[in-house]
Structures are given as C-alpha cells and as structure tokens.
Amino acid sequence: MDFQSGSILDDLGEYVRRLEGIREAVFSTMVMVNEIPAPTFKELNRARFLVDRFSELEMINASIDEKGNAIGILPGRVGDNDILVTAHLDSVFDSTVDHAVTLKPNVAIGPGVGDNSLGVAVLGTLPLILKCIELELDSNLVLLGSTRSLGKGDLEGIRFVLDNYRRPFVSALCLEGIKIGRLSFSSIGMLRGEISYKIPELYDWTKFNSVGAIVDMNDMINRILEIPLPRKPKSTIVLGQMEAGTSYNTLPTKARLRFEIRSESDDIVSSLASRMNYLAEEMTSKTGAHVQFKKIALRKSGGTEFSHPLNTIGREILKRLGISPRITPSTSEVAALIDKDIPAITIGLTDGENSGDLEESVFIEPVSKGLAQLVGLLRAIDERCLHEN
C-alpha cells in the first residue's frame, strides 16, 4: 500500500519554518557531543552523554547495553509498532585530536562534526524537534546511538541490537550529518581489509635481495592496480592508507596497507579478495617476509527497490523541499538493516565540507530542511503502519 503523502508534502514548508527555532538547541548539543572523543571501541563517554540526554527528556528505558550502545524509547500514542532511528557514535578521530568546535554565523567547524556529531545531536534532541512542530506519532520511536560502526567495528553495535531487541522494527532511519539530499537504501558488497608486511629478525638480506618494506609494498600496490576490474557489475578497489618506515636512515621492516574492495556483486568481492590474498602469499615466497592478508569487515549487497514506498516518499519529500535526491549505495548501518530485511534509509541532515579532515564543517542554515525531511519520513512510516494494521 502506498504512503498517503499529500498532507505530509503540504506540511513540509511549515515544518521548515518552525524548525528554524530549534537549530540553536541542535547545534549546542552537537558541540557538546563533538567535544567528547569517541574513536571506535571507545565510545562509552559519548554514550553516557546521550543516555543522560534521553533521561532528561523523560524517555523510557534509557540505558547502555552490553556493546555500549545508547538506547532510549519515545512511546507513541498507540505503541503497536517500533520505528528505529539511529546514528553512529564513533568517529575516525582519536582522543589526541583537539575536538573543539568553532561556531560561525552559518557554519560549524571541527573534527567529526558531520560524521557524526550532528547526527547524534539530532538523535538527542528528537523529542524537542517533534514537540516544536506539535507532532505526536502513534508508533514508538526507538532511538539508538550505535557503537563500533566504523573501521574494525564492522557495525557490531547495531548488529547486536538487531539480534536481541525484543520486537521487530517496522522500518528504520539512519542519520548522518552530511550531505542533505543523500538517500541510501541499498548496500554494495564490500570487504574491508589490510595487508601487513613484516621482515623477521633473522632475515637473510643476501638471500632475498630485498630493499625493505616500502619498496616491496609499493610493488604490491602496483600488482593490485593491475588486477582487471569488470565494468559491470561496478567494482573497485580503494587503497585507503599505507604505513611504513620510522626514519630517514633506517631500512623499514614493517608496512601495512588498508583497503576496501567494493562491488555490486558479492561473488566479485570474494574473487578479488582471493586474488589479493594470492598476491600476499606470492610476496611471502619471493621476499621471505611475512605478508598477511586479513579481513576486517564484510558487507553483503542488497537493499529495497527504487520503487519501494519508503524510497518513493523519501524522494518526494526532498523534491518538495527543493533538494535534488542523490541515490547512493552505502556500507553504513543501513547494511545491517538490509541483512535483517528491514526497510531503511540513510539520510543526510545538512551540507558540509572537508569530510574526514580536522577542518570538517557543517552548514547551519540547511539543517531546518534536513529536520523537516526527517520528521516527514517518520510521519510517513507511522501512517503506513496504521494503514497496514
């Protein structure tokens, strides 16, 4: 059954106007969230902050679970259905980085503000956002600040919740700070891994004629770049980071290459991973170094159809707000939801720049439209639940 979108779309303009008044609360919360370092596996302090905020807003069952996830429930008028709204707590920046935020008239600047302090801040102010537009849902909202999402975390936090929550979720929204217009309702196949290189202490340099870890790892990179990739289904190998060496005059004995294999086909991901593992084994035999291929995280391809009612109303909402939808596959929380056959979308809340840099920024003015998008989707999901019951 299709969503009854008419009145939702008609109300978006009024939502935007009213939600301009809540931006200050959202960004003040974002500053407090961002000042708490939360590298993957070390999100506890940020989770505690979010749970305290849930308790202040009189949400029920505000707590931290076994994986450090922050959870709170905003009861609906009826409460027969549960809608999950989630934002990942972890950041790519460790505790040695200055997490202070600089606020300017229309921009906030700081490491991690867009990924994902703004998303967490919206989660922590969602009851106030709904109150601002006088919207009360019939469904329960389960708010989740998920942990262990990035890097080696492999979505461990949200996977734990999906495996253990007492009732099924009818749908889910994943909040990311940037960029507004993003709609991710599918996941590409992905393998995240690393190739490590280590020369043994009793290495026979004359036997293998090696020139050190950097040169050998450079040869490995060249071999990887020679691997043929199909045009269809779309596939790529992203070489994200390499570490090697300690000084000008010291022959490097260790190196590490981090990468992602991405494809619309799970079989191709597996095939490319096997090819890279073979290259690691081949380098071990040729150089005498210990070269190891290690899998860090895995995502399966899948998702809902472009024509799914949730995706359709998502596009209609953005168009009514004057924003061009950007349909992009994701490897974030939506991938875990896809694995459980839960209709879900990842949305962006505003525009920004320099993602992943110390000078990462988010723009303040577009947030009103980002919030209107969020509440429009929540209302649409809620009304669809009633139609199906």
Using CA of residue 365, residue 130, residue 187, residue 387, what is the dihedral sign? negative
Rounded to a whole number, what is the distance in angstroms from the first to the last CA of the chain?
Answer: 11
Mean pLDDT over 287-300 rounds to: 92
* pLDDT tens column, 151-191: 889 999 999 999 999 999 999 999 999 999 999 999 999 99
Round to whole Å and give the CA distance between 111 and 101.
Answer: 8
Round to whole Å and give the CA distance between 244 and 257.
Answer: 9
Q: How confident is the model at residue 209 (pLDDT cuts 50, 70, 90)?
A: low
* pLDDT tens column, 116-147: 999 999 999 999 999 999 999 999 999 999 99
Asked if 311 and 153 touch (Cβ cutoff 8 Å), the reply is no
What is the model's pLDDT at position 13?
A: 96
Angle (nearest 5°) at CA 362 between 361 and 367: 175
What is the model's pLDDT at position 131?
A: 96
Q: At what angle do helices 118-132 and 23-34 cross, to 10 degrees?
A: 150
Round to whole Å and give the CA distance between 384 and 113.
Answer: 33
Where do we find the tokens 């991405």? 262
Q: β-pairing, 82-88 with 171-178? A: parallel
Round to whole Å and give the CA distance between 156 and 246.
Answer: 33
What is the model's pLDDT at position 344?
A: 96
| CA distances in angstroms from 301 to 193, 287, 380, listed in the order given | 17, 36, 26
Angle (nearest 5°) at CA 47 between 46 and 49: 65
pTM (two decimals): 0.88
Round to whole Å and give the CA distance between 112 and 109.
Answer: 9
- For residue 239, the cross-strand partners are 259
Question: Domains in the chain, ordered, with CATH?
Answer: 6-187+301-388 (3.40.630.10), 189-299 (3.30.70.360)
Q: Is 71 helix (H, G, I), strand (E, B) or coil?
A: strand
What is the model's pLDDT at position 202?
A: 76
